[in-house]
Amino acid sequence: MGQKITPFLSFDNQAEEAANFYVSIFRNSQILEIARYGEGGPGEPGSVMVVKFSLDGQTIEALNGGPHFKLSEAFSFQIDCESQEEVDYYWDSLLAGGGEPSQCGWLKDKFGLSWQVVPRRLLELIGDADPEKAKRVTQAMLQMVKIEIPKLEEAYNQA
């Protein structure tokens, strides 16, 4: 049996384009299924209704539901990154084509979906047992747009 809970995203009419964009960025990803509107549906018969896709093992569905509902920062996907190289790759890839950087590792892609590109090292440093070190790392992170591990390490190691 697959996963019991599946994120379900609503787009105006870009569900297939968005799914293809995401699948092109994440390894081990693919389009799983495309359902199309029939004669009785609110969409144009034959047009894409729902795209089911997998991003590195996480199944997601995307609906072409019209302009009624908008994506917002209230929902985001967080990417667990092992290195600065991985942070840079996802950051640059997700911003491609008109995305918008925010701060503290957050961005919106060109479809308006929010992402958090987070190096695992950030969580390790912020969770340090030494409250002064953790505070310096937190303060450094709050000044960043894209998270930069060397700057976090520098703040951590300040005397």
Domain boundaries, the chain: 1-67, 71-159
Integer Rg of the chain from CA: 19
Instruction: Give me the phi and psi of 154, to 5 degrees please.
Output: -60, -45
pLDDT value of residue 3: 85
Q: How far apart are CA 14 and CA 1, in angstroms?
A: 29
Provide the pLDDT for residue 1.
56
Per-residue pLDDT of the chain (159 residues; tens, 9 = 90+): 578 999 999 999 999 999 999 999 999 999 999 999 999 878 889 999 999 999 999 999 999 999 999 999 999 999 999 999 999 999 999 999 999 999 999 999 999 999 999 999 999 999 999 999 999 999 999 999 999 999 999 999 997
Per-residue confidence (pLDDT) for residue 115, from 0 to 100: 98
Topology classification of domain 1-67 = 3.30.720
Predicted pLDDT at 86: 98
Alpha carbon 44 to its chain centroid, in Å, reads 29
| DSSP element (H, E) containing 16 | helix 15-25
How far does CA 69 lie from the centroid of its chain? Answer: 19
Residue 27: closest CA among 73, 96, 90: 90
Give pLDDT, residue 142.
97
Res 109: pLDDT = 98
Q: Cα-flanking dihedrals φ and ψ of residue 145, to 5°?
A: -95, -75
* 3 state SS for 99-149: CEECCCCEEECCCCCEEEEEEHHHHHHHCCCCHHHHHHHHHHHHCCCCCCH
CATH match of 71-159 with 3.10.180.10: yes
